[in-house]
Amino acid sequence: MPKLESYSPTPAARAGRIVMTIVPFFMAVICVFLSFVPVGRIFGSSVTPAFAFMAIYYWGVVRPEMFPSVAVFAVGLILDLLSGGPIGLWAFVYVVTYAVVISQRFMLVNAPFSAFWMGFVAASAFASVLAWMAASLFYGTFVAAGPIIWHMTVTVIVFPLFAFIFGRVQSRVLNVG
């Protein structure tokens, strides 16, 4: 009987796998930096959408194997370090929300966009409450919930545009869809 050689992926296949893993994380980091651009001023508001949260939700539902929880934690930590807020707040909120999204993604995969968007609304509400509770615990007093609610409301409104962009990257760059 002939001896079979062990399978070893080609260098191109290994590079492709690395790109597939890095692209979602790289896009989320770009979204973190985009969070500091005062785009809300265009519309007369100081509120900027949670761009990184959009990336975390999208990749958590669509391709979680390409965006592991370690990457989610890193994105949250980068946001915490750059924002000057409590270190670990958004990392904690993002990881916990990501875990909830992953556990419920079976309802959203292959669903129409309206269901995908409603899932985002639910995830945003969950993340808002969690962020409010964590910030209140950190500061030792109840913080105002209004800014967090407004922040996530703007995020929900802008999400379809970013879902479209992420989908284009997924189908064009990653060739998965």
Each residue's pLDDT tens digit, 58-101: 999 998 888 999 999 999 999 999 988 889 999 999 999 999 99
Is residue 55 a contact partner of residue 31, using CB atoms and an 8 Å limit? yes
Can you give the pLDDT at residue 40?
67
Question: Which residue carries 């800014």 as its tokens?
Answer: 147
Instruction: Give the CATH fold of the 15-172 domain.
Output: Arp2/3 complex 21 kDa subunit ARPC3 (1.10.1760)
Q: Which residues of 65-102 are buried (b: 16+ CB within 10 A; e: fewer)?
A: ebbbeebbbbbbbbbbeeeeeeebbbbbbbbbbbeebe
Q: What is the pLDDT of residues 5-54, one digit of tens each?
A: 565 667 766 666 677 778 889 999 999 999 888 876 776 667 788 999 99
- Amino acid in position 87: I
Whole-angstrom distance, CA of residue 37 vs CA of residue 67: 24
Query: Domain segments of the chain: what residues?
Result: 15-172
Whole-angstrom distance, CA of residue 79 vs CA of residue 127: 15
Whole-angstrom distance, CA of residue 68 vs CA of residue 70: 5
**Nearest Cα to Cα of residue 109 among 55, 168, 49, 177:** 177
DSSP category for residue 87: T
| Coil, helix or strand at residue 147 | helix
